[in-house]
Amino acid sequence: MQRIINFILSNRNAFLYAFLLLISLILTFRSHSYHQSKAFNSSKWLTGTVYQTSDNITSYFNLRKENSSLVEENRRLREQIFNLKIENLTVLDSSTTNYEVVAAKITKNSFASPRNYLTIDKGGKHSINQDMGVITTKGILGIVENTSTNFSTVQSILNTNSNINAKIKNTDYFGSLVWNANDYNTVQLVDIPRLVPVKIGDTIVTGAMSSIFPENIPIGFIKDFNLNDAQSFYNINIHLFNDMANVKNIYVISNKNREEIIELEAKTNNVQ
Protein backbone atom coordinates (compact mmCIF):
# COMPACT_ATOMS: atom_id res chain seq x y z
CA MET A 1 0.00 0.00 0.00
CA GLN A 2 2.83 2.35 0.85
CA ARG A 3 4.35 1.74 -2.58
CA ILE A 4 1.11 2.79 -4.28
CA ILE A 5 0.94 5.97 -2.22
CA ASN A 6 4.59 6.76 -2.99
CA PHE A 7 3.94 6.16 -6.73
CA ILE A 8 0.96 8.53 -6.74
CA LEU A 9 2.89 11.21 -4.83
CA SER A 10 5.91 10.94 -7.13
CA ASN A 11 3.69 11.30 -10.22
CA ARG A 12 1.13 13.74 -8.79
CA ASN A 13 1.85 16.37 -11.43
CA ALA A 14 1.17 13.93 -14.27
CA PHE A 15 -2.06 12.73 -12.63
CA LEU A 16 -3.17 16.33 -12.05
CA TYR A 17 -2.45 17.20 -15.68
CA ALA A 18 -4.43 14.19 -16.92
CA PHE A 19 -7.36 15.05 -14.64
CA LEU A 20 -7.45 18.69 -15.76
CA LEU A 21 -7.15 17.62 -19.44
CA LEU A 22 -10.11 15.27 -19.05
CA ILE A 23 -12.22 18.01 -17.44
CA SER A 24 -11.32 20.46 -20.21
CA LEU A 25 -12.20 17.95 -22.94
CA ILE A 26 -15.57 17.23 -21.34
CA LEU A 27 -16.39 20.94 -21.07
CA THR A 28 -15.27 21.51 -24.67
CA PHE A 29 -17.40 18.70 -26.09
CA ARG A 30 -20.45 19.77 -24.11
CA SER A 31 -20.25 23.40 -25.22
CA HIS A 32 -19.42 22.89 -28.93
CA SER A 33 -21.61 20.88 -31.30
CA TYR A 34 -18.74 20.47 -33.79
CA HIS A 35 -16.61 18.67 -31.22
CA GLN A 36 -19.59 16.57 -30.17
CA SER A 37 -20.10 15.51 -33.79
CA LYS A 38 -16.43 14.61 -34.22
CA ALA A 39 -16.43 12.61 -30.99
CA PHE A 40 -19.61 10.77 -32.03
CA ASN A 41 -18.21 9.91 -35.46
CA SER A 42 -14.95 8.76 -33.94
CA SER A 43 -16.76 6.50 -31.50
CA LYS A 44 -18.84 5.05 -34.35
CA TRP A 45 -15.69 4.36 -36.37
CA LEU A 46 -14.00 2.71 -33.39
CA THR A 47 -17.08 0.61 -32.59
CA GLY A 48 -17.50 -0.37 -36.23
CA THR A 49 -13.86 -1.39 -36.51
CA VAL A 50 -14.09 -3.51 -33.37
CA TYR A 51 -17.28 -5.24 -34.58
CA GLN A 52 -15.81 -5.82 -38.06
CA THR A 53 -12.66 -7.35 -36.61
CA SER A 54 -14.73 -9.55 -34.32
CA ASP A 55 -16.91 -10.65 -37.23
CA ASN A 56 -13.85 -11.45 -39.36
CA ILE A 57 -12.39 -13.61 -36.58
CA THR A 58 -15.71 -15.41 -36.06
CA SER A 59 -16.11 -15.99 -39.81
CA TYR A 60 -12.61 -17.43 -40.04
CA PHE A 61 -13.30 -20.01 -37.35
CA ASN A 62 -16.64 -20.85 -38.99
CA LEU A 63 -15.04 -21.58 -42.40
CA ARG A 64 -14.79 -25.32 -41.72
CA LYS A 65 -18.46 -25.51 -40.78
CA GLU A 66 -19.49 -23.47 -43.83
CA ASN A 67 -17.27 -25.58 -46.10
CA SER A 68 -18.85 -28.78 -44.79
CA SER A 69 -22.28 -27.30 -45.42
CA LEU A 70 -21.34 -26.43 -49.01
CA VAL A 71 -19.93 -29.92 -49.61
CA GLU A 72 -23.16 -31.48 -48.37
CA GLU A 73 -25.26 -29.18 -50.55
CA ASN A 74 -23.07 -30.01 -53.54
CA ARG A 75 -23.48 -33.72 -52.81
CA ARG A 76 -27.27 -33.41 -52.73
CA LEU A 77 -27.40 -31.40 -55.95
CA ARG A 78 -25.13 -33.83 -57.80
CA GLU A 79 -27.25 -36.75 -56.69
CA GLN A 80 -30.29 -35.00 -58.12
CA ILE A 81 -28.50 -34.21 -61.40
CA PHE A 82 -27.38 -37.83 -61.86
CA ASN A 83 -30.98 -38.97 -61.47
CA LEU A 84 -32.72 -36.39 -63.67
CA LYS A 85 -32.71 -38.72 -66.67
CA ILE A 86 -35.24 -41.04 -65.06
CA GLU A 87 -38.40 -40.68 -67.14
CA ASN A 88 -41.52 -39.06 -65.63
CA LEU A 89 -39.62 -38.27 -62.43
CA THR A 90 -41.25 -35.54 -60.36
CA VAL A 91 -39.90 -36.21 -56.87
CA LEU A 92 -36.49 -37.63 -56.04
CA ASP A 93 -36.58 -40.27 -53.29
CA SER A 94 -34.79 -43.51 -52.51
CA SER A 95 -37.29 -45.60 -54.46
CA THR A 96 -36.98 -43.66 -57.74
CA THR A 97 -33.27 -42.84 -57.94
CA ASN A 98 -30.57 -44.90 -59.64
CA TYR A 99 -27.57 -43.14 -58.08
CA GLU A 100 -26.58 -42.22 -54.55
CA VAL A 101 -23.73 -39.82 -53.70
CA VAL A 102 -21.58 -39.80 -50.54
CA ALA A 103 -19.29 -36.87 -49.73
CA ALA A 104 -15.79 -37.69 -48.46
CA LYS A 105 -12.27 -36.31 -48.13
CA ILE A 106 -8.91 -37.56 -49.33
CA THR A 107 -6.48 -38.46 -46.56
CA LYS A 108 -3.67 -39.69 -48.81
CA ASN A 109 -2.93 -39.08 -52.48
CA SER A 110 -0.24 -40.41 -54.82
CA PHE A 111 0.33 -39.30 -58.39
CA ALA A 112 4.02 -39.91 -59.16
CA SER A 113 4.14 -43.70 -59.53
CA PRO A 114 2.83 -45.93 -62.35
CA ARG A 115 0.08 -47.30 -60.10
CA ASN A 116 -1.36 -44.50 -58.01
CA TYR A 117 -3.94 -44.85 -55.25
CA LEU A 118 -5.86 -42.50 -52.98
CA THR A 119 -7.22 -43.09 -49.47
CA ILE A 120 -10.54 -41.51 -48.44
CA ASP A 121 -12.14 -41.07 -45.01
CA LYS A 122 -15.29 -43.11 -45.69
CA GLY A 123 -15.66 -46.89 -45.68
CA GLY A 124 -18.03 -49.79 -45.23
CA LYS A 125 -20.05 -48.22 -42.43
CA HIS A 126 -20.76 -45.29 -44.78
CA SER A 127 -22.08 -47.67 -47.47
CA ILE A 128 -18.91 -47.43 -49.57
CA ASN A 129 -18.20 -50.59 -51.56
CA GLN A 130 -15.78 -51.81 -54.20
CA ASP A 131 -16.21 -50.51 -57.77
CA MET A 132 -17.93 -47.25 -56.88
CA GLY A 133 -16.99 -44.19 -58.92
CA VAL A 134 -15.14 -41.28 -57.33
CA ILE A 135 -15.34 -37.73 -58.67
CA THR A 136 -14.62 -34.12 -57.69
CA THR A 137 -16.46 -30.95 -58.64
CA LYS A 138 -14.27 -30.82 -61.78
CA GLY A 139 -14.31 -34.38 -63.02
CA ILE A 140 -13.65 -38.08 -62.40
CA LEU A 141 -10.92 -39.22 -60.04
CA GLY A 142 -10.97 -43.01 -59.94
CA ILE A 143 -12.76 -46.15 -58.74
CA VAL A 144 -13.00 -47.60 -55.21
CA GLU A 145 -10.84 -50.72 -54.98
CA ASN A 146 -10.87 -51.79 -51.30
CA THR A 147 -12.76 -50.75 -48.18
CA SER A 148 -12.40 -51.09 -44.41
CA THR A 149 -14.88 -49.96 -41.77
CA ASN A 150 -13.88 -46.29 -41.87
CA PHE A 151 -11.66 -45.87 -44.94
CA SER A 152 -11.38 -46.84 -48.60
CA THR A 153 -8.64 -46.97 -51.20
CA VAL A 154 -9.31 -45.63 -54.68
CA GLN A 155 -7.57 -46.67 -57.87
CA SER A 156 -6.67 -43.33 -59.44
CA ILE A 157 -7.17 -42.68 -63.15
CA LEU A 158 -3.40 -42.16 -62.95
CA ASN A 159 -2.91 -45.90 -62.75
CA THR A 160 -1.66 -48.09 -65.59
CA ASN A 161 -4.38 -50.63 -64.70
CA SER A 162 -7.14 -48.05 -65.02
CA ASN A 163 -9.55 -48.46 -67.93
CA ILE A 164 -12.67 -46.25 -68.00
CA ASN A 165 -15.29 -45.86 -70.71
CA ALA A 166 -15.18 -42.32 -72.13
CA LYS A 167 -16.44 -40.45 -75.17
CA ILE A 168 -16.22 -37.16 -77.04
CA LYS A 169 -18.91 -34.87 -75.65
CA ASN A 170 -22.17 -34.55 -77.63
CA THR A 171 -21.28 -37.58 -79.77
CA ASP A 172 -21.68 -41.35 -79.53
CA TYR A 173 -18.00 -42.00 -80.29
CA PHE A 174 -16.51 -43.70 -77.25
CA GLY A 175 -13.28 -45.42 -76.32
CA SER A 176 -11.19 -46.35 -73.28
CA LEU A 177 -9.46 -43.92 -70.96
CA VAL A 178 -6.00 -45.20 -69.96
CA TRP A 179 -2.73 -43.75 -68.64
CA ASN A 180 0.79 -44.19 -70.02
CA ALA A 181 2.48 -42.99 -66.77
CA ASN A 182 4.28 -40.08 -68.45
CA ASP A 183 2.43 -36.99 -67.14
CA TYR A 184 0.10 -36.73 -64.12
CA ASN A 185 -1.98 -34.06 -65.88
CA THR A 186 -2.50 -36.09 -69.07
CA VAL A 187 -4.29 -39.37 -69.79
CA GLN A 188 -4.96 -41.13 -73.09
CA LEU A 189 -8.17 -41.93 -74.95
CA VAL A 190 -7.77 -44.99 -77.18
CA ASP A 191 -9.96 -46.99 -79.58
CA ILE A 192 -11.45 -43.92 -81.31
CA PRO A 193 -11.68 -44.87 -85.03
CA ARG A 194 -9.89 -42.76 -87.62
CA LEU A 195 -13.21 -41.88 -89.31
CA VAL A 196 -14.27 -39.83 -86.27
CA PRO A 197 -13.79 -36.03 -86.60
CA VAL A 198 -11.44 -35.11 -83.74
CA LYS A 199 -10.45 -31.56 -82.78
CA ILE A 200 -8.05 -30.12 -80.25
CA GLY A 201 -10.08 -28.64 -77.41
CA ASP A 202 -12.97 -31.12 -77.67
CA THR A 203 -14.33 -32.07 -74.24
CA ILE A 204 -14.11 -35.68 -73.09
CA VAL A 205 -16.75 -37.07 -70.71
CA THR A 206 -17.74 -40.44 -69.28
CA GLY A 207 -19.55 -42.74 -71.70
CA ALA A 208 -22.85 -44.57 -71.39
CA MET A 209 -21.22 -48.03 -71.43
CA SER A 210 -20.13 -47.86 -67.79
CA SER A 211 -22.11 -49.25 -64.84
CA ILE A 212 -19.87 -47.27 -62.46
CA PHE A 213 -20.10 -43.64 -63.61
CA PRO A 214 -23.18 -41.78 -64.84
CA GLU A 215 -22.88 -40.54 -68.42
CA ASN A 216 -21.39 -37.13 -69.28
CA ILE A 217 -19.24 -36.52 -66.18
CA PRO A 218 -16.36 -34.24 -67.27
CA ILE A 219 -12.88 -35.69 -67.66
CA GLY A 220 -10.77 -33.22 -69.66
CA PHE A 221 -10.17 -31.82 -73.13
CA ILE A 222 -8.18 -33.01 -76.15
CA LYS A 223 -4.65 -31.69 -75.84
CA ASP A 224 -3.26 -33.26 -79.02
CA PHE A 225 -3.63 -36.40 -81.13
CA ASN A 226 -1.87 -38.30 -83.88
CA LEU A 227 -2.72 -40.83 -86.56
CA ASN A 228 -0.45 -42.30 -89.19
CA ASP A 229 -1.40 -44.18 -92.32
CA ALA A 230 -0.82 -47.57 -90.73
CA GLN A 231 -3.17 -46.91 -87.82
CA SER A 232 -6.92 -47.47 -87.64
CA PHE A 233 -7.38 -45.63 -84.32
CA TYR A 234 -6.30 -42.27 -82.91
CA ASN A 235 -3.77 -41.79 -80.13
CA ILE A 236 -5.38 -38.93 -78.18
CA ASN A 237 -3.87 -37.08 -75.20
CA ILE A 238 -6.42 -35.69 -72.74
CA HIS A 239 -5.57 -32.83 -70.39
CA LEU A 240 -7.46 -33.49 -67.15
CA PHE A 241 -9.79 -30.92 -65.63
CA ASN A 242 -8.70 -32.11 -62.17
CA ASP A 243 -5.37 -31.03 -60.76
CA MET A 244 -4.44 -34.51 -59.60
CA ALA A 245 -1.77 -33.16 -57.25
CA ASN A 246 -4.27 -30.93 -55.43
CA VAL A 247 -7.56 -32.63 -54.57
CA LYS A 248 -9.33 -32.79 -51.21
CA ASN A 249 -13.14 -32.96 -51.23
CA ILE A 250 -14.56 -35.79 -53.32
CA TYR A 251 -17.85 -37.58 -54.01
CA VAL A 252 -18.42 -41.33 -54.19
CA ILE A 253 -21.15 -42.48 -56.62
CA SER A 254 -23.15 -45.63 -56.10
CA ASN A 255 -25.16 -47.12 -58.98
CA LYS A 256 -27.94 -49.05 -57.24
CA ASN A 257 -28.62 -51.07 -60.40
CA ARG A 258 -25.01 -52.16 -60.96
CA GLU A 259 -25.28 -55.63 -59.41
CA GLU A 260 -28.39 -56.40 -61.44
CA ILE A 261 -26.67 -55.24 -64.65
CA ILE A 262 -23.55 -57.33 -63.96
CA GLU A 263 -25.62 -60.40 -63.11
CA LEU A 264 -27.63 -60.06 -66.32
CA GLU A 265 -24.52 -59.57 -68.46
CA ALA A 266 -22.87 -62.61 -66.82
CA LYS A 267 -25.88 -64.78 -67.68
CA THR A 268 -25.76 -63.54 -71.26
CA ASN A 269 -22.05 -64.30 -71.57
CA ASN A 270 -22.55 -67.81 -70.16
CA VAL A 271 -25.20 -68.52 -72.76
CA GLN A 272 -22.86 -67.46 -75.53
Summarised one tens digit per residue, pLDDT across range 173-190 is: 999 999 999 999 999 999
Q: What is the mean pLDDT of the chain?
A: 79
- Record the pTM: 0.68
Are 180 and 191 in contact by the 8 Å Cβ rule? The answer is: no
The Cα angle at residue 191 between residues 245 and 157, in degrees rounded to 5: 20
The answer, yes or no, to whether residue 91 has pLDDT greater than 50, is no
pLDDT, average across residues 112-125: 93
Summarised one tens digit per residue, pLDDT across range 145-172 is: 999 999 999 999 999 999 999 999 988 8
Summarised one tens digit per residue, pLDDT across range 127-145 is: 999 999 999 988 999 999 9
> CATH for 102-256?
2.40.10.340
Distance between CA atoms of residues 4 and 8, nearest Å:
6
The Cα angle at residue 26 between residues 23 and 30, in degrees rounded to 5: 140
Higher pLDDT, 4 or 104: 104
Per-domain residue ranges for the chain? 11-61, 102-256
Q: What is the CA radius of gyration of the chain?
A: 32
Summarised one tens digit per residue, pLDDT across range 54-84 is: 555 555 555 666 566 666 667 666 666 666 6
Distance between CA atoms of residues 23 and 184, nearest Å:
73
Nearest to 250 by CA among 166, 128, 160: 128
Share of the chain above pLDDT 90, in %: 42
